[in-house]
Structure 1
Amino acid sequence: MSETIEGGPRAPVLTAKHVVRRFGGLVAVNDVSFEVRKGEILGLIGPNGAGKTTMFDLLAGSILPTSGEILLNGVNVSGEAAHRRIGRGLGRTFQIPRPLPNLTLIENVMLAAQGQSGERLLANFLTPWRVAAEEKVAETKAGELLELVALARLAHEPARVLSGGQRKLLELARVMMADPAIILLDEPAAGVNATLLEVIIDRIRDINARGITFLLIEHNIDMVTRLCDRVLVMAGGQLLCEGTADEVARDPRVIEAYLGGAAAA
């Protein structure tokens, strides 16, 4: 494992330090620490009930930790809500995307644009030219992102026509609209056919090549093996081990967690 250098090319973008999350008497995440390094694709795997989704929710700001710290580019964001973290460069997709079905694809992507003057009511009356100019820029950018995720031909179709895999590609474009430094991907392979899965893998690689960092939860081990530089394994709310995909696949603790029912609910 290479050392990280503060401010360097492999510096941590996202860090969890001794993070704990309790729900009443249940400890869903128990003293978990790790870092996601700039430019990498890091995988987070584990059996059902391991605490992966709770960890993602904590990193994204959907829920807050009981104790411990979450740092985004060195800033402690442990108490910040999800929308504040988006503004700091953290994007997240969901296992089941829910685009607005009656809006077109390009409209769905444009909704994710940040800092638009048109979001303020008075600006629409006092500086309509600025609002219009910003919308034009956003539309151009949204079109480019739909091209990136291979959905440009459907740009002006309503989102309701998309398959499950296409919705995941649309969500990836929406996340990119906010110019994230890191994207949390929640099971991008779930419910996706083999052909579209190849498209998703290719697009993740393309986006990563632009300098965007990824952390992904995934049960598709083949996808994890193909994409991830490092892999973290959780079980029973704790971090069990980390290493390359091959290393963790051979670790007896991982085999026991998956086959021996070691994960907590």
Structure 2
Amino acid sequence: MALQSERHGEDTQAPVLTAKNVVRRFGGVAAVNDVSFDVRRGEILGLIGPNGAGKTTMFDLLAGSVPPTSGEILLNGTVVSGEPAHRRIGRGLGRTFQIPRPFPNLTLIENVMLAAQGQAGERLFANFLMPWRVAAEEKTFEQKAMDLLDLVSLTRLAHEPARVLSGGQRKLLELARVMMADPAIILLDEPAAGVNATLLEVIIDRIRDINARGITFLLIEHNIDMVTRLCHRVLVMASGELLCEGTADEVARDPRVIEAYLGGAA
């Protein structure tokens, strides 16, 4: 009998996220062309490729920001190809962005609390009919948000406005915000971009810590050192297609990958 995930009650051997023959066309151009892969539960999977390879479009398709022209996307075995991004968040898929955009005038803890799912206070009548429940829930979310800020080493700034953060600290805040929604998988879009070496080490450590909690990661990244240190497997895209997959060392030696980068695939 397959082991069952305590959190989701799913087959732990089944992929958490699957792309099946996914195509996305913009006019006559196939930005993603017949791409298929699985993201295995509990792994850190890297997605690399030269500029214009289709990586960001692939992320948009997985997250629900754009629909596929054809093919299927499955989240925990359920076809979600036609679902919008907010429905996929509710199903356990979180996403960060290359350029984080927190609410600058809200404090860090307020930014994190906003990401909580299913808040009673969001329903108008709950504030009038069950104010005690709303207050108790808010206190629970506040403690959870503080715990997550501690996880990403931002506790001392919890009550500061987000506008004071550096680029690297904003990446850490975004990790905490995503975690607030209790994701099964997180799509990370270039977590190393614009981050100094010291904060990059913190981000790498935090990704490892979160992964150790059973959270799966798929990340786009140009920093090959980070990919080599973090990723269990690596996928390589070029010209909208999946070129190869393997360990970081295996794909680095693949002649097709060398040609894609040196040849400047569009």
Q: Give TM-score scaled by structure 1 length.
A: 0.96
**Deviation of residue 122 (structure 1)?**
1.1
C-alpha offsets along residues 180-208 of structure 1, whole Å, 9 cap, x if unaligned?
Answer: 00000000000000000000000000000
Q: 2:77 maps to what in 1? A: 74
Output the amino acid matched with 1:177: M
C-alpha offsets along residues 88-145 of structure 1, whole Å, 9 cap, x if unaligned?
Answer: 0000000000000000000000000000010011111111111111100000000000
**Deviation of residue 8 (structure 1)?**
4.4
Report 1:61-100 matches (<5 A). 61-100=64-103
Identity fraction in percent: 88
Residue number among 244, 249, 252 corresponding to 2:252 in the alignment: 249
Residues 1:168 and 2:171 are matched in the alignment: yes
CA distance, structure 1, for counterparts of residue 210 and residue 232 of structure 2: 15
Residue number among 71, 96, 108 corresponding to 1:105 in the alignment: 108
Residues 1:238 and 2:241 are matched in the alignment: yes
Residue number among 101, 116, 119 corresponding to 2:119 in the alignment: 116
Q: Give TM-score scaled by structure 2 length.
A: 0.96
CA distance, structure 1, for counterparts of residue 262 and residue 18 of structure 2: 30
Report 1:16-165 matches (<5 A). 16-165=19-168
SS at match of 1:32: strand
SS at match of 1:48: coil
Q: Structure 2, unaligned stretches of length 5 or more?
A: 5-9
**Deviation of residue 5 (structure 1)?**
9.6
Output the amino acid matched with 1:151: L
Output the amino acid matched with 1:208: N
Output the amino acid matched with 2:109: I
Residue number among 176, 181, 199 corresponding to 1:178 in the alignment: 181
SS at match of 2:12: coil
Residue number among 10, 13, 17 corresponding to 1:14 in the alignment: 17
SS at match of 1:12: coil
CA RMSD for the aligned pairs? 1.3
CA distance, structure 1, for counterparts of residue 120 and residue 31 of structure 2: 41
**Deviation of residue 9 (structure 1)?**
3.4
Output the amino acid matched with 1:122: F
